Structure 1
Amino acid sequence: MSIMTNQTPAQQTRSWHATAVEELCAQLDADAQAGLRQEDAARRLRQYGPNELPEAPPTSILTLLLSQFTSVIIWVLIGAAVISGWLEDWIDAAAILAIVLLNGLLGFIQEYRAEQSLAALKRLSMATAKVLRNGTVRSIPARELVPGDLVLVEAGDQVPADIRLTYVAGFQTQEASLTGESTPVQKSSEGLAGKDVPLAERANMVFMGTVAVSGKARGLVVETGMRTELGRIAAMIQTAAEAERTATPLQRRLEQFGYTLLWLALGVVAVVFLLGELRGEPPVAMFLTAVSLAVAAVPEGLPAIVTITLALGVTRMVKRQALIRKLPAVETLGSATVICSDKTGTLTKNEMTVTRLFMDGQVFEVTGEGYQPDGDLKPVEAAAAWAGERHGSGSTEPPPGIRELLTASALCNGATLQQEDGTWRVLGDPTEGALLVAAAKLNLWKDELESRCRFIGEVPFDPQRKMMTVVRQAGSEVTAYVKGAPDVLLSRCTDLMTLDGKREPLTDEVRQRILRANDAFARDALRVLAMAERPGLEMPPALTSDALERDLLFLGLAAMKDPLRPEAKVAVQVCREAGIRTVMITGDHKDTAVAIARDLGILDGDRAALSGVELDRLSDEQLGARIERVGVYARVSAEHKLRIVKAWRSRGAVVAMTGDGVNDAPAIKEADIGVAMGITGTDVTKEASDMVVMDDNFASIAAAVEEGRGIFDNIRKTIHFLLSCNVSEVLVMLFATLIGLPLPLLPIQILWMNLVTDGFPALALAVDPKAPGLMRQPPRRPDDRLLDRGRLLAIGGQGLMMAVIALGAFAYCLYGLGQNLEQARTVAFTVMVLVQLVHAFNCRSADHSLFRLGVTTNPQLLLAFGLSLGAQLGILLVPAAASLFKAGPLPLADWGLIALLSLLPFVIMELWKFFRSCKADMKPTG
């Protein structure tokens, strides 16, 4: 029978787990005992192609480089550089071109690195695989695997393809990078009912790129290459990479701003030139003046200042454990309205911890969190449960029954607890690791116990039995230690151990008490395991489940959880106050996710939780309608995460998506800002991301949001300062032309003014300390302009104020004092420079007085003021420079006038802020 090829990859992927082995063999024309014949495998390799993830055709380096120069504002700057060169202002021209090239180079490097995600995905493929062909085991390159191949996998192997298991022996895989499941998954070979079983629950399947952590298995390859689950994720990433990436909010605002500047520059040239012509001014002189004003109207330092501001923000973020890979992401995170966060390791510690023990009707608390074996044991109920002596660490010596319970936990255990570089780590199943840590807290170390209790044999965990058993011998005593699901294990017990170590019959009443305790732990989202033992076995014992797992002595229950990060709850609250919604997306079970979300404050009010199966039943329109009411998504796949991000973005949200596994990569690439985990994150996720959280901590994301908001606030201050200054220069020339005054400024003076005021003061504003209450403000709307109506009016009003002051000084000196034109121009030139430098202090806040902010809280601005003032004085006092800039000598009275007029903008703005604050205080608060 030939292989069925009329199904789509998605259909095939969803049905293999529900297919019986016999039917599977028929569909694949395969042999579950001897494997394929070599000639059949060669034919299928030609038919299906290599079992690998092909990289997308790389974008050429030249295309990437040229794409950095398509922005409107970049073209405006290039035009300004050409004009500056034509005016022989080579310094300005060189500075502008350097800015353009620097920004292009930075963007090129960032995009080149971002294209490496598919290469990282390809590295996840196995180099070799063990297969049965012609009845013989052989090792072949994994790229040569074909559907129907019979593959052998054991602990430590990376799964080379999507495989339907036909035989397992205590087999577990770690699928966190693909499904989000935080603990190893126990596998079986039994068929599953229903085609809509979530990916994380397909116990008879293993998937390409996951890792076997224990046991052995054998199975038939059902999908290879791009048809695997990993391949489908690679296709989604490739699609997202090939699609045009939506511009970030800052990029969109700067693009709008660029168009505005373009029309403004053209308008300035036209108006000033035409007015000069009407007045009979020499055409060449008016053209030079108009072009100089056009250059002055464009704040050529803006891209450099934005880049430097973002770069400095990146440096600050690194100190707060957030590594930015793409500079615009800094501001984007600051405007985020939704953070879709993974649970394990981000909101929780990803360190399973035993927190409760139940024995003989009593509940005990185990203190301490994580894998550090530091903690105490104390009774929660019946405080007089035991009385004992105090030992060195200050805790109470536990009774014999508790010691036996934890001894069984350590001996019926396949994990290892070890210390590396001062950090405790668990090798193996995190659940078993938690039991080892609990035992170690009472000085019961596995290696010491094993030195006294020799290993005899094991009956591995089986999903049908829901138990595992280890047989050990201490002296002449042989004991079977058993752990498993409480309800199943309890049915195999006939007696129980009391706290003082005695054996008593297990009555129905006691059984119900134990089951009630188990239910109570489960309601608190704790994972519960029961421990039992069967001492006095004969040698050699029969190593079968039927022989060992009966007539057991019940010891107790151990309840554990992955503890919350203590700072995560605070960070969620901070985000809430900032108007940012936190959504939990996890591969864990729904009940566990809901309990943790409630503890964190993510799930409250009428917000609901959805599982992956429930999500599949919703159309995109239905999901979009419900998206704002859902706070938790559980048991989700890569496609689900991608749908969730798209649904939020379709509602106009700015979405930050966090994750660590391969299954998170498509959603991370789709989000406005993708956040990868630095410790547990895969290479694929990191390469697809815009930001990497180095400590895997949600609190670091909240800190990055604050930094992003502060950076945008400072960029807006800088733009406000640059535009108000440039508007004042344009208005001075425009008003002088309109009212018939001689030109108060020469082209070279305009260009110098633009250079000396657009440089250091603007950069100093870009590093202004963050405003108080920044995280108590709502996020900016994605469609908000860089400059709203109120700020545009303020820019125009402040530009007009400075223009009137400078033009008034020019007219007063020319007509009131009877000075010559050169001297009057020098006064107007100097006043214009100084009022702009003073105005930089006004721009630190639109609402708060400089004295409230603190004059010295921005030392960079004080330094910039001093440097720019020194440069201006230098060109006035050095004869050669004064001659170049057509500046005449000034008497002492003129210097007094200049000093007085230069302070006027500060006085006016301080009075304006004072009256505004008084008006705000008078408003009724109810």
Structure 2
Amino acid sequence: MTPAHALPVPDVLHEFDTGPEGLSPGAAAAALERHGGNTLPAAEEETTFQRLLRQFRDPMIYVLIAAAVATAVLGQVVDTIVITAVVLINALVGFFQEGKAADALASIRDMLSPTSEVRRGGTWLTVDAEDLVPGDIVRLRAGDKVPADLRLIEATSLRIEESALTGESLPADKQLEPVAADADLGDRSPMAFSGTTVAAGSGVGVITATGADTEIGHITAMLGQVEQVETPLTKSMARFSSILAVGAVVLAVLMVIVSVVLYDTGWGEVLMSAIGFAVAAIPEGLPAVMAITLALGVQKMAARNAITRRLNSVETLGSVTTICTDKTGTLTRNEMTVRAVVTREDTYTVTGTGYAPDGEICLRGTDTPVTPAEHPDMARMAEVAAYANDADVDKQDGQWRLAGEPTDGGIRTFALKAGVTQERPRLAAVPFDSEYKYMATLDDMDEGTVIHLKGAPDRLLARCDRQSAPGGGTEPLDLEYWEERIEELGSHGLRVLAAASRPADAGAQTLTTADVDDGGFEFLGLYGIIDPPRDEVVDAVATVQRAGVRVRMITGDHASTATAIAREVGLTGDRAITGAELEAASDDELRVLVADHDIFARTSPEHKLRLVRALQANGEVVAMTGDGINDAPSLKQADVGVAMGIKGTEATKDAADVVLADDNFATIAGAMKMGRTIYDNLRKAIVFMLPTNGAQGLVIFVAMLAGMTLPITPLQVLWVNLITAVTLSLALSFEPAEPGIMDRRPRDPRASLLDSEAIIRILYVSVLIGGATIAVFQYLVGEGVDLDTARTVAVNTLVVGQIFYLLTARFARVSALRRELFTTNPVSWVCVGIMLALQLAFCYLPFMQAGFATTAVGPVGWAIPTVAGLIVFAAVEADKLIRRTAD
């Protein structure tokens, strides 16, 4: 079926069985019954209970829950309470930090118009927008939200702000003539789309789609179809947890079998020892440490204007290999700025960006500012900019604000930079209209009444018979020269407007299009206008590229504009791939396109979503930035969706994982650094925790297999695990970034959480600490020391060994014997102090002695563990030295 934008108005009215008088009330009621209300489908929300249950979905937690149940059955109440407390603390940390899941669709629904003017049975009525149906005739005025997708049948200077839907920098001019059936969304000029806003003018249209059938409805459907992507950390932790949990259970079962078969040990004692081993081997504090580390990262990022809505996204930013960024409002300021002014005499460059009149006007190729007095040709261009203009820029709360059209705002700012203001009275005006594409004013100037004319170059050239000449005066119009200059400016992505003027007839007080169309104007020159990049974007792009991250621009704007901005911010690529090319490409061809190109223009929401999926199919970890509704599906699909907090729509923010409070692309670079730091710290925590748990498990495992008395009891194992998790492991969350962290390439998302170097360290440190604990226990027992004392010193050996290992683990490859050991992370020393205080209480407080079967020990009870700790420290430092030397 031919789409409405490709049909003439009579054909559209016929297709929807309506006319200028609108539907009859009966026909409207029947259509409402047939099509349903003009609303978007509601999203299914995650309940609070579901979110809480999700915190327990971890194989390690499953083992701990089973251990808690087993100890309860065996009547070991204290063990049950401690294990249950650990599980609940982990779950509550994740529950409260994660917050409520986003509902992007509800935010999109809020963008729809609540009421609308509709003509039914020849009478204009105001009805609820949800009661509109295809075939209804709707009236639009400036400031209205478009309530449904409309095929326009009347348009008077109608301009609609569609940037949130199409990515266009400027409001779209609307007209009635049909366009090609395959025209891009931004080129469908006879259409008005649901959720957009009328910027100027008025119009009437026939509704062609409502609710889920509208363009915004298609985006809603795409959002619903996009599944949340697992982060690299989530995938790695899932694999890691599964392997660890299965390994712990298998070894515990092996212990039970060996103890019962070889040593005829009682079932109660065997089961408690097996539970103790499982609890010892599993780092039950790891989920809490991970959540706390991520939460700390969230707080630090929030202080840097990056608000994280999902905890895991913090770390994922550090794994990103590609940033797909929107152009308008993300890389650019979304503020039109005059960059160049061309007259027959000279070409001028204009510095400064946005609507603040800060900047200079210089001759091209120089840095020397010029003044209107020195260059009358430039002064006349500034005069037209000041007078043929309905926009105002003024300073409010320290910020320059625009009232009016963005292009007029840019022109007005140029006039202010030239020192020209509208001081003389306006007598009459012809407002801008998309039909004739110019604006003219009749102004009472010092030299007499003058018509100032500004608009599309082709329309002004057709009304001029002469041009301003170098040195003053006029000369015949050189059409070829101006066409070349227009082409030159356009090739740099600049939007081109022209200026002209002529004296008005004596005594003129009115101005019409007929007066303008009579011609006789003097052509003054051209303005080159662009939505410029943000000042900080160039450095930010260079930073993330240096970190091995590729930046790709995906925009709904024109190819020439996209290429120009890409060139300015430092993106590679000689041309932009257009939406039409993406439409024609198969999924396999698209994977090749995204691998070879960085600039994509005239894209629809479907194109953006396909591009993100193609990149992910190529093995990329994708961050997608955006601010419009059209970005929401691709933000949700991306590994990390990044929304603009100031200019972004609520739908975009809700679909995103991270919201930039300052709309600053440069904030992404800082967030990526934080993400990499968090991953490093999590990895350090894992490489620290596993040997400590491995040592505890090794003690019980060896003792059971050898038929020895347990050097530490299962309850003592729980104590060590608990105090380690809340002290030493947490200390690593506060480690600063490693030197050169943004000069290395992103980590491979498919790589294992632990490499061979980490695994080797985990194994030998486990053996060192565990072996030292067993050796100390056996030595003391052999010397006739009582069991409680021997076990107390054995536990001290575990604790002190972990403290010394923490000090060396803070630095993955470099030596820990450096000043930074004492200066860069004071929290680590606080945690060591707390750990020692808790261990002193464990040894010397009577109620702790009664609960954990410990006893007070003398200086030897601490000296022996200190020697064991120093051996662990020296071994790891020697390993680092060997590896550094080998490198």
Q: CA contact under 8 A between 1:326 and 1:690: conserved in structure 2? A: yes
CA distance in 2, matches of 1:570, 1:838: 42
Q: 1:674 to 1:186 in 2, by over 3 A?
A: same
1:216 alignment counterpart: 202
2:104 equivalent to 1:98: no
Q: 1:882 aligns with which of 849, 856, 863?
A: 849
CA distance in 2, matches of 1:191, 1:891: 94
Q: CA contact under 8 A between 1:110 and 1:326: conserved in structure 2? A: no
2:469 equivalent to 1:506: no
Give 2:497's aligned amino acid. Answer: L
Q: CA contact under 8 A between 1:439 and 1:445: conserved in structure 2? A: yes
2:136 equivalent to 1:170: no
Alignment of 1:738-753 (within 5 A): 738-739=705-706, 741-753=708-720
Q: CA contact under 8 A between 1:802 and 1:835: conserved in structure 2? A: yes
The runs of at least 4 aligned residues of structure 1 exceeding 6 Å deviation read 382-386
Please, what TM-score do these two structures have when normalized by structure 2?
Answer: 0.94
2:772 equivalent to 1:784: no
Q: 1:545 to 1:708 in 2, by over 3 A?
A: farther
Q: CA contact under 8 A between 1:353 and 1:371: conserved in structure 2? A: yes
Q: 1:740 to 1:63 in 2, by over 3 A?
A: closer
Q: 2:586 aligns with which of 596, 619, 624?
A: 619
Give 1:162's aligned amino acid. Answer: D
CA distance in 2, matches of 1:703, 1:80: 42
> Unpaired segments of 5 or more residues in structure 2?
none
2:416 equivalent to 1:440: yes
Q: 1:60 to 1:94 in 2, by over 3 A?
A: closer
CA distance in 2, matches of 1:560, 1:841: 58
2:239 alignment counterpart: 256
Q: CA contact under 8 A between 2:427 and 2:509: conserved in structure 1? A: no
Alpha-carbon displacement from aligned partner over 1:2-43 (angstroms, at most 9, x marks no partner): xxxxx5xxxx6xx211101122222122213x3333332222
Q: 1:503 to 1:165 in 2, by over 3 A?
A: farther
Q: 2:647 aligns with which of 671, 677, 680?
A: 680
Alignment of 1:147-166 (within 5 A): 147-166=134-153
CA distance in 1, matches of 2:658, 2:348: 42
Three-state SS of the structure 1 residue aligned to 2:340 is strand
Deviation at 1:220, TM superposition (A): 1.6
Give the total of aligned pairs.
881
Q: 1:690 to 1:383 in 2, by over 3 A?
A: closer
Q: CA contact under 8 A between 2:322 and 2:551: conserved in structure 1? A: yes
Alignment of 1:51-70 (within 5 A): 51-59=38-46, 62-70=49-57
1:656 alignment counterpart: 623
CA distance in 2, matches of 1:37, 1:491: 47
CA distance in 2, matches of 1:709, 1:160: 45
CA distance in 2, matches of 1:588, 1:682: 18
Q: CA contact under 8 A between 1:73 and 1:257: conserved in structure 2? A: no
2:792 alignment counterpart: 826
Three-state SS of the structure 2 residue aligned to 1:855 is helix
Deviation at 1:119, TM superposition (A): 1.4
CA distance in 2, matches of 1:880, 1:102: 28
Three-state SS of the structure 2 residue aligned to 1:344 is helix
1:492 alignment counterpart: 463
RMSD between aligned residues: 2.5
Three-state SS of the structure 2 residue aligned to 1:559 is strand
Alignment of 1:450-489 (within 5 A): 452-463=424-435, 465-474=436-445, 477-489=448-460
Q: CA contact under 8 A between 2:844 and 2:855: conserved in structure 1? A: no
Alpha-carbon displacement from aligned partner over 1:538-567 (angstroms, at most 9, x marks no partner): 524451246446111222222122222232
Three-state SS of the structure 2 residue aligned to 1:110 is coil
Q: CA contact under 8 A between 1:477 and 1:537: conserved in structure 2? A: no
Deviation at 1:734, TM superposition (A): 2.5
CA distance in 2, matches of 1:755, 1:439: 69
CA distance in 1, matches of 2:50, 2:850: 47
Q: 1:349 aligns with which of 311, 333, 345?
A: 333
Deviation at 1:486, TM superposition (A): 2.5
Deviation at 1:301, TM superposition (A): 1.4
1:560 alignment counterpart: 529
Give 1:354's aligned amino acid. Answer: V
Alignment of 1:105-184 (within 5 A): 105-106=95-96, 109-111=99-101, 114=102, 116-184=103-171
2:8 alignment counterpart: 20
1:847 alignment counterpart: 813
CA distance in 2, matches of 1:74, 1:848: 34
Please, what TM-score do these two structures have when normalized by structure 1?
Answer: 0.90
Deviation at 1:274, TM superposition (A): 3.4
CA distance in 1, matches of 2:295, 2:369: 60
Deviation at 1:652, TM superposition (A): 2.2
Q: CA contact under 8 A between 1:493 and 1:506: conserved in structure 2? A: no
Q: 1:600 to 1:384 in 2, by over 3 A?
A: closer
Q: CA contact under 8 A between 1:65 and 1:108: conserved in structure 2? A: no
1:534 alignment counterpart: 502
Deviation at 1:364, TM superposition (A): 1.8
Deviation at 1:149, TM superposition (A): 2.0
Deviation at 1:730, TM superposition (A): 1.4
Three-state SS of the structure 2 residue aligned to 1:762 is helix
1:414 alignment counterpart: 390
2:191 alignment counterpart: 205
Q: CA contact under 8 A between 2:362 and 2:369: conserved in structure 1? A: no
Q: CA contact under 8 A between 1:399 and 1:499: conserved in structure 2? A: no
Q: 1:186 to 1:492 in 2, by over 3 A?
A: same
Q: 1:873 to 1:549 in 2, by over 3 A?
A: farther
1:31 alignment counterpart: 19
2:597 alignment counterpart: 630
CA distance in 1, matches of 2:484, 2:85: 76
Give 2:9's aligned amino acid. Answer: V
Q: 1:825 to 1:60 in 2, by over 3 A?
A: closer
CA distance in 2, matches of 1:549, 1:651: 60
Q: CA contact under 8 A between 1:371 and 1:425: conserved in structure 2? A: yes
CA distance in 1, matches of 2:309, 2:787: 54
Alpha-carbon displacement from aligned partner over 1:137-192 (angstroms, at most 9, x marks no partner): 22222222222222221211111111111222211111001111111111111122
Deviation at 1:436, TM superposition (A): 0.7
Deviation at 1:788, TM superposition (A): 3.1
Q: 1:719 to 1:161 in 2, by over 3 A?
A: same
Q: CA contact under 8 A between 2:119 and 2:138: conserved in structure 1? A: yes
Q: 1:269 aligns with which of 244, 252, 259?
A: 252
1:718 alignment counterpart: 685
Q: 1:861 aligns with which of 812, 822, 828?
A: 828
Deviation at 1:820, TM superposition (A): 4.1
2:725 alignment counterpart: 758
Three-state SS of the structure 2 residue aligned to 1:566 is coil
Q: 1:658 to 1:774 in 2, by over 3 A?
A: same
Three-state SS of the structure 2 residue aligned to 1:47 is helix
Q: 1:878 to 1:655 in 2, by over 3 A?
A: same
Q: 1:104 to 1:858 in 2, by over 3 A?
A: closer
Deviation at 1:525, TM superposition (A): 2.0
CA distance in 2, matches of 1:476, 1:699: 50
2:608 equivalent to 1:641: yes
CA distance in 1, matches of 2:553, 2:131: 40
CA distance in 2, matches of 1:879, 1:151: 83
1:390 alignment counterpart: none
Deviation at 1:707, TM superposition (A): 0.9
Give 2:740's aligned amino acid. Answer: G
> Unpaired segments of 5 or more residues in structure 1?
1-6, 387-394, 921-926
Q: 1:72 to 1:901 in 2, by over 3 A?
A: closer
CA distance in 1, matches of 2:529, 2:203: 29
